[in-house]
Amino acid sequence: MLSGLKQFRMRLAILVEMMGGQSELARRSGDKITQTEISRLLKDEREPMFETAIGLAAACEVSLDWLAGRTGRVALRAPIDKALLKESVESAQEGFAELELEELPASTKAEIVADIYETYSGERRKPQRRKVMEIIRAAA
């Protein structure tokens, strides 16, 4: 098994290739991370600082855990569909009111909204009331 730093460098190399090179990755970071810094990280001339790793993960839209080699799951994050997120929250709120569950803990409500969002993510339709109610009942 590769060490954490070797995993980081290997995955950073993958991301540099995917992003179109070191200069493009530096640009995507908002120039917070320079091309020279990326090069030094790849050549094992420097260990990554936490802030640098966070900036690289954000610029590439990957999880920090994946970049650090701590997980093989879900390397790339899909961009958030803000309209669907809003509809998911509104659908959940309507369901909570209808089922008289407004007093659920915020953490449970957040999990329900995430479940609704994930259920309809990638689909081109709004959350359906019946399915939303099923999700709420299963979690409550």
Q: Examine residue 8 and state whether it is found in any structural domain, yes or no.
A: yes
Cβ–Cβ < 8 Å for 63, 69? no
At 29-65, the pLDDT tens digits run: 887 899 999 999 999 888 888 889 888 988 888 888 8
Q: Is residue 22 part of a domain?
A: yes
Domain span holding position 102: 82-139
Please report whether residue 52 resides in a domain: yes
Residue 26: what pLDDT? 92
Q: Which secondary structure element, helix H or strand E, spans residue 94, and what is its range? A: helix 82-98
Shared domain check, 87 and 127 = yes
Is 63 found in the same domain as 8? yes
b/e 78-102 (16+ beta carbons within 10 angstroms → b): eeeeeebeebbbebbeebbeeeebe
Q: pLDDT tens, 108-125?
A: 888 888 788 888 876 777
Domain boundary among 33, 67, 101: 67
101 and 58 inside one domain: no
Answer whether residue 75 shows pLDDT above 50: no
Tell me, yes or no, whether 46 lies in a domain.
yes
Residue 14 shares a structural domain with residue 52: yes
Asked if 46 and 21 sit in the same domain, the reply is: yes
Number of folded domains that form the chain: 2
Q: What is the mean pLDDT of residues 12-26?
A: 89
Instruction: Please compute the mean of the pLDDT values over residues 63-84 and round it to a whole number.
Output: 69
At 86-100, the pLDDT tens digits run: 899 899 999 999 999
| CATH number of the domain enclosing 11 | 1.10.260
Domain-embedded: residue 75: no
Residues 93 and 60 in one domain: no
C-alpha angle 19/9/5, rounded to 5°? 150
How far apart CA 55 and CA 49 sit, in angstroms, is 10
| 87 and 63 within one domain | no
